[in-house]
Amino acid sequence: MPASKSSQAVVLTISTLVAVGKAFEEISSDRCDCFLTNGSTASYFAGHKFFDFRSLPQYAYVPAHIEDAYESSYVSPTSEYFTSEEWTSTWRIQGWNNSRTVDAGVASVLMVHSPNNVYVETNQDDDPASETFMTLRTIRLRDYQSSAEFESVDQGYQFVSMRMLARTIGAPGAITAMFTYRGAEEFSQIQESDLEFRTIDPLNTVQCTNQPAVDGEGSKVDEATRNVTIPGRLTHRDWAVYRMDWTPADTTWYINGQNVASIAFQSPRDPNILMFNSWSDGGSWTGNMTVGNEAYLHVQWIELVYNTTTPEYSKREEGQCYNVCSIDETETMGTPVLLQGGALSLLDRTRGFGSLVSRIPWLAMAVMICST
């Protein structure tokens, strides 16, 4: 949702204070006109989606590897969940390969994305936090690297807060990622914000980048990336909530609610698609995985609040924000709460709340953002 007029935005923001001091009401997403995020880049978004993989035992199935590269591209999805309307209305599992870059000498290993590597499996952790989770698998086979990727059906996302409860485990030589992407004929024109885990890196680090991270001569662009230490003495093998907020001003990354990086340089400007993957091509960025080894991105849930330029995916007419909701203040993951309804009628009730704003950092930040 584009930035609204400053006066209207301030009223919308301050009106949320009326609800402070009492429990927020949980409501369905279709009753929300917009969603206000917290954090240093508090922003308004029009749409909300939540994908819950924590209790899908009827779909739990770990498929065997497919040795034939061609066959792996065209295999059917691993369960009916990935052919359901819930999934296919938003996501599309990929089956492309990198044979052109291998032939050009850019990649050293043939990589083939396969629907066979996106599946639901039983959580076998000690004292598991969920019954099941979704897995994106990559494995080095004798003749190729079998990988996993899915992308959004809607190619018109323009600003989004993407979150996942996830972990990355497995052998060195792989990358798992959550990112936005807009391709271009010229590499320098690509628009992309990344959250990437490299299994060749120290276990407690993650890469946050606004691509491209190298220039035309292959030299690193320092302003484009941050190598972040995961807070709380955690590693990427531990479950954590990873969040990436792409807004008009910048892209900001959070881990378990803590702001770990923010980059304005090269933050995407135009509509992007949303993507998740687990892959390797044997190159210097991913590393070269040993034959027979595997790595995985495990995901318990994915949540999005977003704006889109695609009419058929747009929820409502621009400028209508009667019920302001939050996915950050809820106690039930995936279910928003109503921060305030009928915001414009509350103008006279916002006087005297200045001191209260100052004591609630994320609301104070939202006021500053919206008033600029």
- Same domain for 42 and 61, yes or no, is no
Asked, for residue 313, whether it belongs to a domain, the answer is: no
- Same domain for 237 and 139, yes or no, is yes
Lowest mean pLDDT among 40-49, 182-191, 282-291: 182-191
Side-chain half-sphere CA neighbours of 220 within 13 A? 7
User: In this model, does residue 365 exceed pLDDT 80?
Assistant: no
- Same domain for 132 and 259, yes or no, is yes
Query: Taking all residues of the chain, what is their mean pLDDT, rounded to a whole number?
Result: 87
Residue where a domain terminates, one of 267, 282, 308: 308
DSSP conformation letters of 332-350:
STT--EEEEESGGGGGGG-
Expressed as residue numbers, the domain containing 16 is: 6-46+319-370
- Same domain for 40 and 57, yes or no, is no
Q: What is the pLDDT of residues 267-325, one digit of tens each?
A: 999 999 999 999 999 998 999 999 999 999 999 999 999 999 998 776 655 557 899 99
The whole model's pTM is what? 0.87
- Same domain for 231 and 289, yes or no, is yes
Asked, for residue 266, whether it belongs to a domain, the answer is: yes
**In sequence order, which ranges of 60-149 are alpha helices (DSSP H)?**
69-74, 85-88, 99-103
d(CA 109, CA 291): 11
User: In this model, does residue 2 exceed pLDDT 70?
Assistant: no
Q: What is the pLDDT of residues 53-105, one digit of tens each?
A: 999 999 999 999 999 999 999 999 999 999 999 999 999 999 999 999 999 88
User: In this model, does residue 109 exceed pLDDT 70?
Assistant: yes
User: In this model, does residue 117 exceed pLDDT 90?
Assistant: yes
- Same domain for 286 and 334, yes or no, is no
pLDDT score, position 272: 98
Asked, for residue 1, whether it belongs to a domain, the answer is: no
User: In this model, does residue 194 exceed pLDDT 60?
Assistant: yes
User: In this model, does residue 256 exceed pLDDT 90?
Assistant: yes
pLDDT score, position 158: 98
- Same domain for 21 and 108, yes or no, is no
Number of domains in the chain: 2
d(CA 208, CA 195): 5
pLDDT score, position 79: 99
Lowest mean pLDDT among 171-175, 337-341, 361-365: 361-365
Extract the tokens encoding 102: 């291998």
Asked, for residue 159, whether it belongs to a domain, the answer is: yes
- Same domain for 302 and 323, yes or no, is no
Q: Which residues 6+ apart lie within 8 Å of 246 measured at CB? A: 159, 160, 161, 162, 180, 193, 267, 268, 272
d(CA 335, CA 332): 6
Report residue 16's pLDDT band, with 50, 70 and 90 as the boundaries: very low
Lowest mean pLDDT among 182-186, 223-227, 314-318: 314-318
Residue where a domain terminates, one of 308, 333, 354: 308
- Same domain for 140 and 206, yes or no, is yes
Coil, strand or helix at 73: helix
Residue where a domain terminates, one of 279, 308, 337: 308
User: In this model, does residue 5 exceed pLDDT 80?
Assistant: no
- Same domain for 118 and 146, yes or no, is yes
Is the separation of the CB atoms in 303 and 50 below 8 Å? yes
Asked, for residue 289, whether it belongs to a domain, the answer is: yes
Asked, for residue 152, whether it belongs to a domain, the answer is: yes
Only one residue has tokens 């369905």, namely 28
- Same domain for 304 and 324, yes or no, is no
- Same domain for 281 and 358, yes or no, is no
User: In this model, does residue 209 exceed pLDDT 90?
Assistant: yes
pLDDT score, position 19: 42
